């Protein structure tokens, strides 16, 4: 059992604490595991940080931090673990650029320490980025840059290798069919639901947060329609719901120090 006090979260909201924790975990833990970032991995990391700078709706201090990191990364061709850790350090001479030191899960808090947390926040961050991209550069003819960036992140950095293999399988099968940014939002939504269906009832299922086909009725009653007695998703309503749920105005700052 966890000794930390339970943080009560509103299921209708996103929490900046989870999102910033996802960012710090990807950079300070996952990308810091390698003694050396070779060209391929470094290129995946640069792309990821650039996408965060463009689309992460973070607090000013966090955006400044990411912007500095992006500028630092751009010209590099070779980065050792020490270089990377030094670049990531919160620097006192840059008081307006800071990333929290430790992750704190709120909406992603699990009923046991080994449940939820980082993978939950990574999904949340990825959904948020696809939606922010669709809101900020909604050109319907141009493809998503968030989706391929995420794919490479998972391929090169996601610590759960079995998860990465499953995800790459889904990406290789159908990601090339995604035409635009709304399509990217829907692709990620439907693949996440496939993962939920596969994992429901397994050891990674937190009994307090069972894996369901998402969003449930109480979050979006118009997202499901009945056709010929069968329950179906209404993709237009899913998009409308996602653009509100994963909007910057739906993020609570509770528990942020």
- Contact set with ligand FAD (CB under 6 A): 108, 116, 119-120, 122-124, 127, 154, 160, 162-163, 166-167, 189, 192-193, 195-196, 199, 204, 206, 209, 211, 214
- At its nearest, how many Å lie between ligand FAD and the CB of residue 219? 8
Cβ proximity to ligand FAD: between 98 and 152 the closer is 152
Cβ proximity to ligand FAD: between 79 and 104 the closer is 104
H or E segment and range at residue 252: strand 251-252
- At its nearest, how many Å lie between ligand FAD and the CB of residue 83? 27
Cβ proximity to ligand FAD: between 19 and 97 the closer is 19
Cβ proximity to ligand FAD: between 94 and 197 the closer is 197
221 Cα distance to chain centroid: 25
Cβ proximity to ligand FAD: between 79 and 133 the closer is 133
Q: How far is CA 91 from CA 23, 50, 69, in A?
A: 17, 21, 12
Beta bridge partners of 230: 227
Please give the torsion angle defined by the CA atoms of residues 91, 98, 75 and 129, in that order, rounded to the nearest 10 degrees.
Answer: 170
Beta bridge partners of 224: 233
- At its nearest, how many Å lie between ligand FAD and the CB of residue 254? 16
- Only one residue has tokens 């009560």, namely 8
- At its nearest, how many Å lie between ligand FAD and the CB of residue 200? 10
User: Distance between CA 23 and CA 201 in Å, rounded?
Assistant: 28
- At its nearest, how many Å lie between ligand FAD and the CB of residue 189? 4
DSSP 230: E
Pairing of the two strands 230-233 and 224-227: antiparallel
- At its nearest, how many Å lie between ligand FAD and the CB of residue 165? 8
Cβ proximity to ligand FAD: between 72 and 123 the closer is 123
- At its nearest, how many Å lie between ligand FAD and the CB of residue 74? 27
How many Cβ atoms from other residues are within 10 Å of residue 203's Cβ? 7
87 Cα distance to chain centroid: 22
Structure-block tokens of residue 167: 């995800």
Cβ proximity to ligand FAD: between 72 and 255 the closer is 255
Check if the beta carbon of residue 36 is closer than 8 Å to that of residue 136. Answer: no
């Amino acid at each position: 059992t966890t000794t930390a006090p339970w943080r009560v979260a509103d299921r209708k909201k996103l929490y900046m604490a989870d999102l910033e924790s996802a960012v710090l975990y990807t950079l300070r833990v996952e990308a810091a595991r390698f003694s050396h970032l070779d060209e391929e991995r470094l290129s995946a990391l640069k792309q990821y940080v650039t996408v965060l700078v463009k689309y992460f709706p973070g607090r000013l201090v966090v955006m400044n931090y990411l912007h500095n990191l992006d500028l630092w990364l751009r010209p590099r061709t070779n980065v050792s673990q020490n270089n990377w850790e030094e670049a990531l350090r919160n620097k006192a001479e840059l008081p307006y650029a800071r990333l929290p030191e430790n992750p704190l899960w709120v909406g992603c808090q699990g009923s046991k320490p080994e449940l939820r947390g980082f993978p939950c926040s990574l999904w949340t961050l990825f959904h948020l980025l696809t939606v922010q991209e669709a809101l900020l550069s909604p050109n319907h003819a141009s493809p998503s840059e968030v989706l391929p960036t995420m794919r490479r992140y998972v391929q090169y950095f996601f610590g759960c290798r079995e998860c990465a293999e499953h995800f790459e399988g889904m990406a290789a099968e159908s990601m090339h069919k995604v035409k635009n940014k709304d399509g990217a939002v829907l692709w990620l939504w439907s693949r996440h639901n496939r993962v939920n269906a596969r994992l429901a009832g397994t050891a990674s299922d937190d009994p307090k947060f069972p894996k369901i086909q998402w969003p449930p009725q109480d979050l979006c009653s118009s997202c499901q329609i009945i056709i010929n007695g069968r329950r179906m998703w209404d993709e237009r309503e899913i998009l409308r719901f996602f653009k509100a749920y994963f909007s910057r105005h739906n993020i609570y700052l509770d528990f942020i120090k």
